[in-house]
Structure 1
């Protein structure tokens, strides 16, 4: 054992003397690393009411059951069949409903692996933001008050899967429109909202009263529209125009309109309301545009199952396993009745990876779904928590040692290794 520890020290010394290692390209295969359950064991009890996690897990089990059973789901260097994931999600759901935290931890240690995202710095650092299901005021007919359309997917929007041309373009797509026999970029936000190039195409699902609310509906990806008769129309993501997403918050920080420290969704909304003459210029700085569809139930994530408030999360779908169970270590605010924040509390939350987003790219980004209502809106408006951690829970393969003494030693020294 002494020689083994000496070898570890020598390897570390050589690595230190050789200077910083070149930055590694993060791929689906190296985005997650195996870590011991001891990293989260002390915080497991913080999330004790797991009925909603069980609901979300059962939704993911339904997703895995809907795809070919031999489909492989990748957790970093490891892969598991969809059939295996069905059983894992069902087992975790049963355990979440019937076990208290100590028994659940033992069950997880015995039957599951814990893998951590390498994060933005390859040391596990993750930025967590949050989103919610907003409520807008609208009408099914255009009026002077309700003048801003929510568009359904245009008929001339074309999506091309480039992987059909070459494997090197896996998960790469182009969205555009056919014009005189050529594929061209689809219209950007300015052409759609200001030049009204879609007007007359009978694409309007509804009209709303506030263009700022409509812009943030595009950011959230789904929402509810309160109609004049008191009924509610639910709308959800149908497609995007394929233009790049650009943060208008970053633009206003760059222009010294709002400081980085004070930037939040409420601050951004207030600036747009206070500066109506600059509103369109700033909104159009984000050319990305979302088209919607009517929903029954939902809202739905990228795997087609309803999202669960404070359980579903959105990550980069090119790096992390769709539908997979996970854990999120993040600092969350406690909201007072007047909407102010009393304190921020570090907490561990059981989650499920059921969504993605245009701005959610790389191993160091998570968007946490807060649900619907005033509290969800308040938290989503201020969440931008760095120094968070993202974990995934994978089935322990039959040939993987169970966590006895030597297995625990092995897991400890495998930290940071695929």
Structure 2
């Protein structure tokens, strides 16, 4: 799935730490050096791995995927056929979180459901950049074109849905529809979190998604102007091929799994590879996940974004995450030894 914008970009874009020019190192570890390895649910990680491993191209990955699909003992499978590799380039490790929003909406407008999600008009596809957010939302350029997918009840949540790039809409009869990124107006993203800090309204450490939402709602006129500070506008498409109960599509075009999917920088970590996460902070995480997604803010070998699931609770948990830690990639044995720099003279 294309997520051109990311939750952390909206709030704290300075969290996206650029990779340094320092030499990249790759060191092989033993499994007993992974904190918490013995206690993890390896079977859950194996199932997540199987969800996407068939889409990996290299022969060594394909052969391991074939073995995984036969239902081996999960812990033994990983220990027998992989080696943990720490990849570093001198940049500071950082873990953040992301989620899939869930909004209340309708397939028809009403007094409650007034705020539309649009498909991208043809003129935006051929004229890039096109109109700004302000021009789209205050003019009549989108009227009477039949581009509405649904209408939701909260313009602030709609703004954050555009930041995430995908989400679910809960209809009045309880049915769900899923929407995904369907294009943009071509304007560069400007962070409203950074703007609140620049104005002196909040300190950087105070900014979160909920803080921004609350400020916009308490200050409806100034809040709307704040949203217009970001000229970028995202269009959507319905994702009817993805069951509502399944996770959203990740970068491998497969549904991702809460707390077992992690977004990585594919420059360093192959998409589909198992990764061992050791996240510090107040709520440590020691868990085997799978690199099934990417993000604009995810740069460097020790930068990762953990998928927390769908809805408000997942959003609150994801929004609190900003912790150090260690990311260890599980590589096929021969490939691990071929790439390891710690074995070189």
Per the shorter chain, which TM-score range?
Answer: 0.7 to 0.9
Structure 1 match to 2:258: 309
Structure 2 match to 1:394: 331
Secondary structure of 2:201's counterpart equals coil
**Equivalent position to 1:254, from 180, 187, 198:** 198
Cα gap change, 1:144 to 1:375, in 2 (>3 Å):
closer
Structure 2 match to 1:185: 129
Structure 2 match to 1:139: 106
In structure 2, C-alpha distance between the alignment counterparts of 1:371 and 1:242, rounded to whole Å:
28
- Structure 2: which 5+ runs fail to align? 1-18
Query: How far off its partner does 1:58 sit?
Result: 1.1
Deviations 1:204-243 (A, max 9, x none): 1101010111111122222211112222112122333333
In structure 2, C-alpha distance between the alignment counterparts of 1:399 and 1:50, rounded to whole Å:
20
In structure 1, C-alpha distance between the alignment counterparts of 2:129 and 2:161, rounded to whole Å:
23
Cα gap change, 1:346 to 1:272, in 2 (>3 Å):
same
Q: Is the CA contact 1:113–1:395 (under 8 Å) kept in the aligned structure 2?
A: no
- Which of the two has greater strand per residue? 1
Q: Is the CA contact 1:117–1:389 (under 8 Å) kept in the aligned structure 2?
A: no
**Equivalent position to 1:87, from 49, 63, 70:** 63
> Under a length normalisation based on structure 1, what TM-score does the superposition of the two structures give?
0.68
Any residues of structure 2 matched to 1:207-218 within 5 Å, and which? 207-218=151-162
**Equivalent position to 2:73, from 69, 77, 98:** 98
In structure 1, C-alpha distance between the alignment counterparts of 2:98 and 2:156, rounded to whole Å:
16
Q: Is the CA contact 2:40–2:288 (under 8 Å) kept in the aligned structure 1?
A: no
Q: Is the CA contact 1:238–1:290 (under 8 Å) kept in the aligned structure 2?
A: yes
Q: Is the CA contact 1:60–1:324 (under 8 Å) kept in the aligned structure 2?
A: no
Query: How far off its partner does 1:379 sit?
Result: 0.4
Cα gap change, 1:398 to 1:246, in 2 (>3 Å):
closer
Structure 1 match to 2:46: 54
More off after superposition, 296-305 vs 233-242: 233-242
Structure 1 match to 2:342: 414
Q: Is the CA contact 1:53–1:93 (under 8 Å) kept in the aligned structure 2?
A: no
**Equivalent position to 1:286, from 221, 230, 240:** 230
Aligned CA RMSD, in angstroms, stands at 3.2
Query: How far off its partner does 1:43 sit?
Result: 0.8
Structure 2 match to 1:34: 26
In structure 2, C-alpha distance between the alignment counterparts of 1:151 and 1:46, rounded to whole Å:
48
Structure 1 match to 2:96: 129
Q: Is the CA contact 2:87–2:268 (under 8 Å) kept in the aligned structure 1?
A: no
**Bigger relative CO (Cα 8 Å, ≥ 6 apart):** 2
In structure 2, C-alpha distance between the alignment counterparts of 1:131 and 1:142, rounded to whole Å:
29
Q: Is the CA contact 1:137–1:208 (under 8 Å) kept in the aligned structure 2?
A: yes
Deviations 1:129-160 (A, max 9, x none): 211122211111122221111122333444xx
Secondary structure of 1:52's counterpart equals helix
Query: How far off its partner does 1:60 sit?
Result: 1.6
Query: How far off its partner does 1:254 sit?
Result: 2.1
